[in-house]
Structure 1
Amino acid sequence: MIVYFSATGNSKHVAHKIAMEIDDWARPIEELKLEKHVEARAGGVFGIVCPTYFCGIPVIMEEFLKKVKMFVGEDCYFFFVSTYGGNSGMSADMVEEILNERGLKLDAKYGVKMPDTWAPIIDLNDKSKIAAINSDADKNILRIAEQIKNREKGNFIKNKKSRFFAKFNYRVYDRMRETKNFIVTDACTGCKLCIKRCPIKVIEMVNDRPSWITDQCVMCLGCYHRCPMNAIQYGSSTKGHGQYIHPNDLDETDKA
């Protein structure tokens, strides 16, 4: 069993590709949050996959790990995979600390470099560069799947920052999560795709335009990247920076 959070499809792709290689299954935490517990069978495999946000983990994954009851059977291989654009920061450390507090222990930690989707800074218009990153990622995912099959133990994440730098950077995340940063341009057609895709359902239609009903959100930017008209922007900083969805995550639900 592999659980994951994914806004633009990177972590979803990693989770499902590993699941396919090890003959297992993967599910998003948004579905599992509705259940009372998650159980991994004795001798089986339990994996967690999520993106790195500001050198840490998304608040939705933090909440999931702290609140959902997890039962890990004896001799179950327990692993975490961090997907990241620049570096994995302290994402694996955060997950490990939460699990340790709950009496659970990771056997292995992995990292997969994927296209960085933080559009306020990253320009995503170079499709050949993105394709090259995804190609390298697929090779890495296959290597990780083999390590999981062999039940290798240890920290296999290479690209990470110091704990001091990561903690400093993660403090910025709370401020960046403010929904007042979003604007909706006149290009909006009212298709409501942003509402359907919001992982915590904090977008509603007000006067035929998307409106954020909380002061903060996960800031996954799924609404920005999946808008078919590119009508949702993060202030003025995303203008002209392009959108990104992993090529294996484009389906009918992304159509109005």
Structure 2
Amino acid sequence: MNNRIFYFTGTGNSLAIARQMAASLGGAEITPMAAMPGGYVGQEEERIGLVFPVFAWGMPRMAAEFAKALRPRTGQYVFAIATNGGSPGRTLVQLSKILRAIGSNLDGGFAVRGDFLISMQSQTEMALIKFIGWLGGKNVPGFAKDRFREISKTVEEKKSHGAETSNASLNFLGSLMYGFSIKMFARMDKGYSATDACVSCGACVRLCPRENITLANGRPIWHQDCEYCFACMAFCPQSAIAWKGAIPSDPKHHPDVTLSDVLLR
């Protein structure tokens, strides 16, 4: 197959977009980054794509680690799509620097608003998130049909497209926040808990990208190496995982992505 797309997803946005890109390119092998902990050495593909969400104006740990271990072949077209709530910051610039450090290039870097944003924060926090998204990313388009055609045409024709960013103010703010936030995220799983609705099915264990969850006496235990992707809560078939005592309202994940789509083991 001439195309391969690697994705990292928590609530399904990135997988849904990876599927759309694969279809537009006439087919692609789609692989979760979590399934390739040792990275990937390019084979005969014409194009290699990376699709992942923006975390705190930067790359999720897993996406950054995967990119550092990636080894594209000379001449392969490398593109990335960073899904976000409206403000990508310098996420794609970060990726571009990682790729240059391994002797490759980011040939196309696209930022798009995800179709789905889980609502588990307080009303005040959600209002702040939406305001920041409007302030810094109001010109960042969603993955509408016109935008999809634009991206797929650029990738199909292997045209160069610079890394898309937010405005200068949020790029600066994001650069300051990212280093602190990404380290803090690993310990954020202290906020998770299982309710009495838990039936010990182990789905959370099987879908955690960092293998950070185990079962003890039939209940999930988190081990402070969290990706902060919310996949365990978003795809729990019993809606039994709470964040700081609260369970987000439905829908918890992208409507076109199911639990079976994101199980890793």
| Rounded Cα–Cα distance in structure 2 between residues aligned with 1:78 and 1:72 | 10
- Give the unaligned 5+ runs of structure 1: 124-135
Structure 2 residue corresponding to 1:38, chosen from 36, 41, 48: 41
TM-score of the aligned structures, taking structure 1 as reference length: 0.82
Q: What corresponds to 1:149 in structure 2?
A: 156
Runs of 5+ unmatched residues, structure 2: 128-141
Aligned-residue Cα RMSD (Å) equals: 2.6
Structure 1 SS opposite 2:214:
strand
Return the match for 1:204 from 193, 214, 228. Answer: 214
**Aligned mates of 1:242, 1:234 — CA distance in 2:** 14
Q: What CA distance in whole angstroms lies between the structure 1 residues aligned with 2:119 and 2:101?
A: 31
Could you tell me how far 1:157 is from its partner in structure 2? 2.8
- Give the conservation status (yes or no) of the 8 Å contact 2:79–2:107: yes
Report the residue type matching 1:155 in the other structure: G
Alignment of 1:234-245 (within 5 A): 234-236=243-245, 238-245=246-253
TM-score by length of 2: 0.80
Give the aligned partner of residue 232 of structure 2. Answer: 223
Counterparts of residues 94-113 of structure 1 (less than 5 Å): 94-113=94-113
Are 2:170 and 1:162 aligned? yes
SS in 2 for 1:155: coil
Distance 2:205 2:154 in 1: 38
Distance 1:158 1:37, change over 3 A: closer
> Which residue is 2:8 aligned to?
5
SS class of match (2:78): strand
Aligned to 2:131: none
The answer as to whether partners of 1:40 and 1:73 remain within 8 angstroms in 2 is: no
Deviation at 1:192, TM superposition (A): 1.2
Give the letter for the 1:153 counterpart.
S
Give 1:206 shift.
0.7
Q: Is the CA contact (8 Å cut-off) linking 1:86 and 1:113 kept in structure 2?
A: yes
Distance 2:21 2:156 in 1: 10
2 CA distance for matches of 1:90 and 1:176?
A: 19
* C-alpha distance 13-240 of structure 1, shift in aligned 2 (>3 A): closer
Letter in 1 for 2:221: S
Q: Deviations over 1:185-228 (max 9, x none)?
A: 2221212111111112111111111111x223111100011112
> 2:132 aligns to what?
none
Distance change >3 Å, CA 119–CA 169, structure 1 → 2: farther
1:53 aligned residue (52, 55, 78): 55
Query: Does the 8 Å CA contact 2:210/2:225 hold for their aligned counterparts?
Result: no
Q: 1:221 to 1:52 in 2, by over 3 A?
A: same
1:232 equivalent in alignment to 2:238: no
Aligned runs of 1:169-184 on 2, under 5 Å?
169-170=177-178, 171-178=180-187, 179-184=189-194
Q: Which amino acid aligns with 2:242?
A: Q
Q: Which of the residues 193, 198, 205 maps onto 2:203?
A: 193
Aligned residue pair count: 238
> What amino acid maps onto 1:142 in structure 2?
R
Percentage identity across paired residues of the two chains: 24
Q: What is the CA–CA distance in structure 2 between the aligned matches of 1:150 and 1:37, rounded to whole Å?
A: 23
Is the deviation greater in 242-251 or in 223-232? Answer: 242-251
* C-alpha contact 2:110 2:163 (8 A) present in aligned 1: yes
Cα distance in 2 between the residues matched to 1:235 and 1:51: 23
- Which of 22, 27, 30 is equivalent to 2:31? 27
1:90 and 2:52 correspond: no
**For 1:112-151, what aligned pairs fall within 5 Å after superposition?**
112-114=112-114, 115-117=116-118, 119-120=120-121, 121-122=125-126, 137-139=143-145, 140-151=147-158
C-alpha contact (below 8 Å) 1:226/1:243 kept by paired residues: no
Q: Distance in 1 between matches of 2:184 and 2:33?
A: 24
